[in-house]
Amino acid sequence: MGRRRGGAHGSDGEFTFVSPVVKYLLFIFNFIFWIISLVMVSIGVYARMMKHAEAALACLSVDPAVMLLVIGVLMFILTFCGCVGSLRENICLLQTFCICLTVLFMLQLVAGILGFIFSDKARTKVSEIINNAIVHYRDDLDLQNLIDFGQREYGCCGGVTYTDWSQNIYFNCEQNNPSRERCSVPFSCCIISKNKEVINTMCGQGMQEMDYLKAGDYIYTNGCIDKLVNWIHSNLFLLGGIALGLAIPQLVGILLSQILINQIKDQIELQNYNLKHQSDPWS
């Protein structure tokens, strides 16, 4: 016998029902993020397919397309549970959605607290990621564009300093390095004057062989890690607003799913109670 939807009366005259407002609000909420996840997965798959297999595997851990794919797939699964669970009033799917969203929220909260408490270790981890990205700079076009954008945007070069580019095989300063870019830095490290009509795209040539002060006349010599830390300290309110903006949809999803779960459970209990007393009117 199928479960009747809508409202049901208890023996004491209490009326219980699954609110269509909560139900469809939760569905629309999940459907919007489900579409976003599809777009993210599509972009990630397209970006991966456009790369050579060898290059893609070489820098898998720092590939922006992989990060987009992973986030998109997880988001797709989560929002799919929310969409189907709300439409079908399926407690199992709704509880899966609610628990996963709660765990995700708690992990973000813990990560934020640990990142604040252990800021030195967090800085070390960021340094490892940036150094790994420098090593694979020429292996991945997306990664290369991301690093170039960051160096131009923040006016920095390398992780700690501009000589970090020696970690890359093309920019390495060893004498046996046959690369034409030996001991150089990428063009994105260069200080570009707006007054110059002709831009020298080879301005980073041989900069690692110069001392810090002399190189500073041509390129950004400060590393991107310090620039990033300074930017974070200067934009704490902005980052707090972004964190709040990410937390609110998660809390709304948790709240709506829990309300819907409770309404469905109450209705099931009441219907079971009514069925029991209809079959045994003398109890």
- Token pair, residue 147, equals 């690093």
Cα dihedral: 51, 139, 149, 66 (round 10): 50
Q: What is the mean pLDDT of residues 149-167?
A: 91
- The dihedral region occupied by 30, where left means phi > 0, alpha psi between -120 and 50, and beta the remainder, is alpha
Instruction: Reply yes or no on whether the pLDDT at 90 is more than 50.
Output: yes
Distance of CA 77 to the CA centre of its chain: 15
Determine the Cα angle at 9 with ends 7 and 12, to 5°. Answer: 150
- Token pair, residue 219, equals 């390129």
Instruction: Reply yes or no on whether the pLDDT at 112 is more than 90.
Output: no
What's the CA gap between 28 and 14, in Å, rounded?
29
pLDDT digits (tens, 9 = 90+) for 16-28: 577 888 899 999 9
192: Cβ contacts below 8 Å, ≥ 6 apart: 199
What's the CA gap between 89 and 158, in Å, rounded?
53
Q: How far is CA 184 from CA 14, 33, 181, in A?
A: 78, 44, 5
Instruction: List domains and CATH numbers for the chain.
Output: 7-118+236-279 (no CATH), 121-232 (1.10.1450.10)
Share of the chain above pLDDT 70, in %: 85
Confidence of residue 275 (pLDDT cuts 50, 70, 90): confident
The highest-confidence range among 208-212, 226-230, 271-275, by mean pLDDT, is: 208-212
- Token pair, residue 122, equals 């967090």
The highest-confidence range among 44-53, 90-99, 266-275, by mean pLDDT, is: 90-99
Distance of CA 232 to the CA centre of its chain: 17
The highest-confidence range among 56-60, 264-268, 279-283, by mean pLDDT, is: 264-268
pLDDT digits (tens, 9 = 90+) for 117-126: 777 777 788 8
Rg of the chain's alpha carbons, rounded to an integer?
28
For 16, the 3-state DSSP assignment is: strand
Instruction: Reply yes or no on whether the pLDDT at 36 is more than 80.
Output: yes
Q: Compare 114 and 36 and report the one with higher pLDDT.
A: 36
Q: Are 196 and 168 in contact (CB under 8 A)?
A: no
Instruction: Reply yes or no on whether the pLDDT at 54 is more than 60.
Output: no
Instruction: Reply yes or no on whether the pLDDT at 134 is more than 70.
Output: yes
Instruction: Reply yes or no on whether the pLDDT at 99 is more than 90.
Output: yes
Least confident of 35-49, 55-69, 147-161: 55-69
* Residue 89 pLDDT: 87
40: Cβ contacts below 8 Å, ≥ 6 apart: 68, 69, 71, 72, 75
Neighbours of 177 (CB within 10 A): 15
pLDDT digits (tens, 9 = 90+) for 197-227: 556 778 888 899 888 889 988 999 999 988 8
Q: If you ran DSSP here, which 8-state letter would residue 61 be given? A: G
What's the CA gap between 45 and 234, in Å, rounded?
36
Q: What is the mean pLDDT of residues 146-170?
A: 91
